[in-house]
Chains A and B, each alone.
Chain A
Amino acid sequence: MATKSARLDSIVVPMPLLAGLVLVGLPLYAYLSPIVLWYVFALTVWSALAIIGKVPIPSGSIRLLLAMVIVGALYVSYGAVFGLIPGTSMVLLLAYLKLFEIKTRRDITVIIFLGYFLASSLFFHSQSVWVALYVIVLAIYFTSLLVMVADRNASTSLLQRLKIALRMVLQSLPLMLIMFVLFPRIPGPLWQLPKDAQSASTGLSEEMTPGDINKLVASYDVAFRVKFDAPPPDNRNLYWRGLVLSDYDGKTWRRDNAPDWTRPEVEIYQQAGDDIRYRVTLEPHQHNWLYALELITGFDDNYRLTRELQLLSNNLVSSVISYRAQASLQASNHGLYPPERRKNLELPAGYNPKTLALAQAMRRTAAGNPRAIVQAVLQYFSNQEFYYTLTPPLLGNNAMDDFLFKSRRGFCEHYASAFTTLMRAAGVPTRIVLGYQGGEINPVDEYMIVRQSDAHAWTEVWLDDQGWMRVDPTAAVAPQRIERGIQSAGLEKQYLPGLLQVNSDVLNRVRFVWDSFQNGWNQWVVGFDEQKQLKLFKMLGLGDVSKSDLMLYLVVAMSFVGLLVAWWVIRSGYYQPRDRVRYYYRYFLKRLSRQGLEITEQDTSQEMLTRLKIKFPDMAEQASNIVKQYQDLIYGQSRNRGTEKTFVRLVRTFRI
């Protein structure tokens, strides 16, 4: 029964620990470099073999060597041992090494704490519902390991430990919630974040090569969600501007932004009811640009707008952010300096001779009128045999020639690219805009969902009298794409995301509910910041609160809820209510003693009854009945709910 030392008797313990490290490591594997990954695998196998006794536990000097190899491997893989990924890898690997030198219970505790730490690092990569659930499971598991360490007689089973841990996690939820809601949020980093604090994700990239976007179309992921203040505009006006590409090398389009000190020149026509106000909740995409409806006329102060009307943030968007913006369908952009004009006319020399020739011909026909040239090109797209497809053939060196005269199959970026090339060749400044087009209203929460599959590329043409004018060449080929969205564009269904292919009301309903849940998660959990805190207090009718108010509320609520939790923990949960048979028997004895009957714990019930008979002769029979029933219940086999009830009633009706 007794274990007399804090030292461990056997190495049985580390197996559940190793399982914990594997569990917490699994989601991290995707981010580890191959060398580190192999090292993790090797250590996993080695420690598993050591634990079951197939290989000896490595000695101190070997462990030191292994630790040095870890540092070396990290340095080779990442060029550093600090930063997010190297740091997490280091903690993971050191936790593995620690498995080899468990001597006391405290060593195990250290590994468990490293496990909690690693679990929290998962949130750097994703803050989705799934990751949150996984981390809760990990928290329960590691807490059950703490129980294992504290259970020094080793008398609990794995299931019992998990139950105890689960109960503790459940009991921790109220206080966690209070702290989460009321703890004052200090914005911004306390120190410079490591460069790799973000990791790759889906979405538009900084450049565009025809063939890029149609890969995105297969993704059902949410790019961002929008809440309009008023009913949303028509689908054909939903152009979500991201970034502007001006530089073309014959293959790839890139950004060529005007200098930072330049200002946008937006002209707003004052017409009533034209403003579209909305709030965007953007999923992290690891870039610094934001998406805003064309034509942007207002935005949050902490962002800036470039001359090309790209809305930029100062930091990379690495977690869900939310911003307000304003758009007007009537506004126009008049920014064009001579260098911009030059830039937007440039084409790589010596490429696409046929395209250039076509452009010259069109320019002549249109007599140099830019509007007429635009019409001519669009008509060319719609009259000739062009197809809108997700599976365009590969293009050669003269990509535009190949597309315009040979394949004639393409996706939005092909049309935007070809259109821009033709316009520039015809002498009209033109550039490409990348973003999303369309969006779907979720009837459950009225949020508009814009998915990766809505990614789109269109163009802007400079007209001297009007400024930049949006032209979407895809609309000439597949007008339904712009009118009704990607799923109605007549594209090959098998390449669209699975959920966009089906047309089931039930399924639609389910995915809308699910999406509104995810949206709520983003809005209220992942995106819970200072503003949300204030908003919540307004919603609760508490008005404006300051940070010190918040602290006060926190302290008050924590004391109050803390007491409730304490009551909960102490009263129920671990310890079920006391035995009512014993309780009522004590109550019975207490009442007798209040009447002056001397009762001590050492008395047998016979002695007590004898004394009772002398003092209260008329009660003796009833009392002895109670004593007899009590003994039957405690020592006999007859105990059940019914007999318990009879006993309780008997005690209650006992009158002296």
Chain B
Amino acid sequence: MARTKTPPSLSAVADAGRRPFFNFIAKRSGPFDAITLDRRRVYILPTKSGLMFAVLVLVLLVGSINYSKSLGFMLTFMLAAIGNVAMYVTWRNLVGLHLRSGGSKPVYARQPARFSVQLENTDASCRYSIAISANGYEYELVDVPAKALSCAHFEVASHSRGVLSAGRFRLETTFPTGLFVAWTSIELNMSTLIYPAPVDKAELQVAGTGEDGDTDLASVGLEEFSGLRKYQVGDSWRRVSWKRSAHTDTIYTKEFVGGKPERVWIDWNQVAVSDTEQRLSILARLVLNADAAAVIYGVRLPNQEIQPDTGSAHLHQCLRALALYGH
């Protein structure tokens, strides 16, 4: 997650009001690393219920005039004034909220990417029912208790591998009356890696991988159990027979037949597909298979070589290399 610009210093935030006017637009558009929703950033409009409420107030007003009921006027005006107060309160439910990018997890292409945003409420009362969403995806509702942090998530469609920045998302609330909706649209400095979408297993066969190599990568992980041997440094922990090891002092590793080597290379050149994206998708599947089979694997790309290893960090390093290939 590379920072594109230096984060604003606290003094800059505090002195925002003294900036020249033409900075105004730039300041509003973001993206920001962190931002406090100030009053100019939160918009408000009546909801459909709010419009219905206005009609109700009008009906009551006409009724009070017609029947000359003084207390009818009183209630009418009270409801109108409640509407007015509701507007400020709804707006206030967002204003002053501090937002900070909360990170994200990499996903495979065409899966929705999920970003999290930290909402901090420094006020002494709870901010209820704040909905967060982006691009028409379903919203999530969060409450941010008094003097507390909450995490809210929104999803963004990912179309291709690479780096996806979160883009604009929308925070809105209708609390406490539902008569008004206050919202803001904001972009935080958030991005996530989109791994190439791995191909299906069936597609892997069609792609005809492994033809010239000594390893049939398509079937990695499909071996049969053959026996146990003593654990050696470098053996995958996933292959340790914990059941057996628990009964004795030694640690045993399960062995599998099939004669496949424990150490494999997943090589760009092994995949005979000319389309780069398709090739990366196949490589991603191979990497996942290798990880699932708990073999020790490395990845060779034209511009990069990742030494064989195992484990989750290694897996993500490999996928990351695939995701960023050529970028």
Q: Are B81 and A175 in contact (CB under 8 A)?
A: yes
Nearest Cβ in chain A — how far from B81, in angstroms? 3
Nearest Cβ in chain A — how far from B55, in angstroms? 9
Q: Are B74 and A180 in contact (CB under 8 A)?
A: yes
Q: Are A598 and B9 in contact (CB under 8 A)?
A: yes
Question: Among the listed A151, A197, A526, A590, which residue makes an inter-chain contact with B128, where contact means beta carbons less than 8 Å apart?
Answer: A151
In angstroms, Cα B74 to Cα A258, docked, is 42
Q: Which residues of B contact A179 (CB under 8 A)?
A: 73, 77, 80-81
Q: Are B10 and A590 in contact (CB under 8 A)?
A: yes
Q: Are A109 and B49 in contact (CB under 8 A)?
A: yes
Q: Which residues of A contact B56 (CB under 8 A)?
A: 113, 116-117
Nearest Cβ in chain B — how far from A584, in angstroms? 13
In angstroms, Cα B177 to Cα A574, docked, is 14
Nearest Cβ in chain A — how far from B11, in angstroms? 4
Nearest Cβ in chain B — how far from A301, in angstroms? 18
Question: Among the listed A106, A123, A151, A594, which residue makes an inter-chain contact with B71, where contact means beta carbons less than 8 Å apart?
Answer: A123
Q: Which residues of A contact B41 (CB under 8 A)?
A: none
Q: Which residues of B contact A187 (CB under 8 A)?
A: 68
Q: Which residues of A contact B228 (CB under 8 A)?
A: none
Q: Which residues of B contact A153 (CB under 8 A)?
A: 128-129, 141-143
In angstroms, Cα B13 to Cα A540, docked, is 48
Q: Contacts A146-B177, A150-B178 known; A106 to B73 CB distance under 8 Å?
A: no
Q: Are B82 and A123 in contact (CB under 8 A)?
A: no
Can you name the residue of chain B whose Cβ is closest to the Cβ of A2? B140
Q: Are B141 and A152 in contact (CB under 8 A)?
A: yes
Cβ of A303 under 8 Å from chain B: no
Contact with A along B109-149 (1 / 0, CB 8 A): 00000000000001111101101000000111111000100
Nearest Cβ in chain A — how far from B16, in angstroms? 12
Cβ of A77 under 8 Å from chain B: no
Q: Contacts A1-B142, A120-B60 known; A578 to B70 CB distance under 8 Å?
A: no
Q: Are B82 and A169 in contact (CB under 8 A)?
A: yes
Question: How many chain-B residues does the 8 Å CB contact rule pick out?
Answer: 66
Q: Are B9 and A168 in contact (CB under 8 A)?
A: no
Nearest Cβ in chain A — how far from B114, in angstroms? 12
Q: Which residues of A contact B68 (CB under 8 A)?
A: 187-189, 319, 529
Interface stretch of the complex, out of A266-274, A447-455, A565-573: A565-573
Cβ of B14 under 8 Å from chain A: yes
Q: Are A120 and B11 in contact (CB under 8 A)?
A: no
Q: Are B123 and A168 in contact (CB under 8 A)?
A: no
Q: Are A586 and B85 in contact (CB under 8 A)?
A: no
Cβ of A651 under 8 Å from chain B: no
Contact with A along B225-267 (1 / 0, CB 8 A): 0000000000000000000000000000000000000000000
Q: Which residues of B contact A526 (CB under 8 A)?
A: 70-71
In angstroms, Cα B155 to Cα A2, docked, is 14
Question: Among the listed A3, A171, A175, which residue makes an inter-chain contact with B141, where contact means beta carbons less than 8 Å apart?
Answer: A3
Q: Contacts A169-B78, A172-B82 known; A578 to B123 CB distance under 8 Å?
A: yes
Nearest Cβ in chain A — how far from B15, in angstroms? 8
Q: Are B176 and A146 in contact (CB under 8 A)?
A: yes
Q: Which residues of A contact B65 (CB under 8 A)?
A: 185-186, 190
Cβ of A602 under 8 Å from chain B: yes
Cβ of B86 under 8 Å from chain A: yes
Cβ of B79 under 8 Å from chain A: yes
Q: Are B174 and A176 in contact (CB under 8 A)?
A: no
Can you name the residue of chain B whose Cβ is closest to the Cβ of A131? B71
Q: Are A120 and B84 in contact (CB under 8 A)?
A: no
Which chain B residues numbered 57 to 76 have a C-beta less than 8 Å away from chain A?
59-60, 62-76
Can you name the residue of chain A whose Cβ is closest to the Cβ of B52? A113
Q: Are B140 and A599 in contact (CB under 8 A)?
A: no
Q: Are B69 and A147 in contact (CB under 8 A)?
A: no
Cβ of A575 under 8 Å from chain B: yes
Q: Which residues of B contact A135 (CB under 8 A)?
A: 71, 75
Can you name the residue of chain A whose Cβ is closest to the Cβ of B49? A109
Q: Are A168 and B71 in contact (CB under 8 A)?
A: no
Report, nearest first, the 3 A-B pairs whose CB atoms are least far apart. A576-B124, A172-B81, A593-B11
- 25 inter-chain pairs at a CB distance below 8 angstroms, sorted by A residue, are A106-B48, A116-B79, A117-B56, A117-B60, A135-B71, A139-B79, A150-B178, A152-B131, A153-B141, A179-B73, A186-B65, A193-B67, A319-B69, A525-B71, A526-B71, A527-B70, A529-B70, A569-B85, A570-B95, A574-B123, A574-B125, A575-B92, A575-B124, A599-B11, A601-B9
Chain B positions within 8 Å of A, measured between CB atoms, are 6-11, 14, 33-34, 48-49, 52-53, 56, 59-60, 62-82, 84-86, 88-89, 92, 95-96, 122-126, 128-129, 131, 138-143, 147, 174-179
Given contact pairs A176-B74, A594-B11, enumerate 12 new A-B contacts (beta carbons under 8 Å): A120-B60, A132-B71, A135-B71, A139-B75, A152-B141, A153-B141, A179-B77, A197-B67, A319-B70, A590-B11, A590-B14, A601-B10
